[in-house]
């Protein structure tokens, strides 16, 4: 079974809005609904679970009914950190799923995730046991300790920019999260960083520059433009 776990537990402080950014409306549709629809439409996704910020669960269920997200099966409570939110979702899945089930962890605020990205994440997770959506680092990278100036470059060929989804087998991910808690690791940036901190190797899958994370108001502007964009027919893939 392939399960999409949508992480919607954050408050979105950097967006400086009055409601969590995953519930902001863009073109008369909440951001989280765009994300849910991407996994709802994918033929290989069997179920969806959302880890939701406290107090917004009933609003989420109302959107699920309104926009006919039939694969949504349950809501788990968000935690104080992303790592805690993911763990809460995993513990909820453990009640009714097997250790071999594939879990795709995805940010609710990445609404432009494509069918191709989801498919590649599932396939790589099945083949290798892990699948991290990544894109190349195209910019020049400078090292700075004081955040004001630099005299050192870093070879961008050694770097990947990570995105979501990030896919793993449920049993493996649960085991890593529980061992991390025992080791005192409680605020790892993402599941891929947690895996590496715990000595595991992770494998890459397809990402995209369009698979943006809505963190600032400027990102909302880009999202709106992407919704309207259509690639010129003469451009090659």
Reported as a single tens digit per residue, the pLDDT across 35-49 is: 999 999 999 999 999
Kind and range of the H or E run holding 66: helix 57-66
Distance of CA 220 to the CA centre of its chain: 17
Q: Alpha-carbon distance 168 to 192, whole Å? A: 10
Q: Is there a contact between 52 and 8 (Cβ–Cβ < 8 Å)?
A: yes
Q: How many CB atoms lie within 10 A of CB 141?
A: 14
Query: For residue 173, what are the contacts with CB-CB under 8 A and spacing of at least 6?
Result: 90, 103, 191
Digit-coded pLDDT (tens) for 120-150: 999 999 999 999 999 999 999 999 999 999 9
**β-strand partners of 223:** none
DSSP-derived letter for residue 46 is -
For the residues of 206-231, what is the DSSP string, one character each?
E--TTS----SHHHHHHHHHHHH---
In what helix (H) or strand (E) does residue 213 lie, and over which residues does it extend? none
Dihedral sign from CA coordinates of 17, 19, 23, 29: negative
Banded model confidence at residue 9, pLDDT cuts 50, 70, 90: confident
Predicted TM-score of the model (pTM): 0.94
Per-residue pLDDT tens for 179-198?
999 999 999 999 999 999 99
């Amino acid at each position: 079974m392939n399960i999409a776990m949508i992480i919607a537990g954050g408050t979105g402080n950097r967006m400086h809005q009055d409601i969590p950014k995953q519930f902001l409306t863009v073109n008369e549709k909440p951001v989280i609904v765009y994300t849910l629809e991407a996994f709802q439409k994918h033929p290989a996704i069997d179920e969806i679970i959302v880890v939701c910020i406290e107090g917004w669960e009933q609003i989420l269920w109302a959107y699920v009914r309104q926009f006919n997200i039939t694969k949504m099966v349950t809501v788990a409570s968000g935690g104080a950190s992303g790592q805690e939110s993911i763990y809460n979702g995993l513990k909820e899945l453990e009640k009714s799923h097997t250790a071999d089930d594939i879990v795709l962890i995805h940010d609710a605020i990445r609404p432009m995730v494509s069918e191709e990205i989801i498919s590649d994440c599932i396939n790589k997770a099945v083949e290798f046991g892990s699948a991290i959506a990544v894109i190349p680092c195209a910019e020049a990278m400078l090292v700075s300790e004081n955040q004001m100036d630099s005299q050192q470059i870093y070879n961008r060929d050694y770097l990947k920019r990570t995105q979501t989804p990030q896919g793993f087998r449920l049993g493996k991910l649960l085991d890593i999260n529980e061992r991390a808690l025992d080791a005192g690791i409680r605020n790892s940036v993402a599941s891929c960083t947690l895996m590496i901190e715990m000595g595991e190797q992770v494998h890459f899958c397809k990402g995209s520059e369009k698979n943006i994370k809505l963190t600032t108001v400027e990102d909302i502007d880009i999202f709106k433009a992407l919704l309207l964009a259509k690639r010129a027919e003469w451009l090659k893939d």
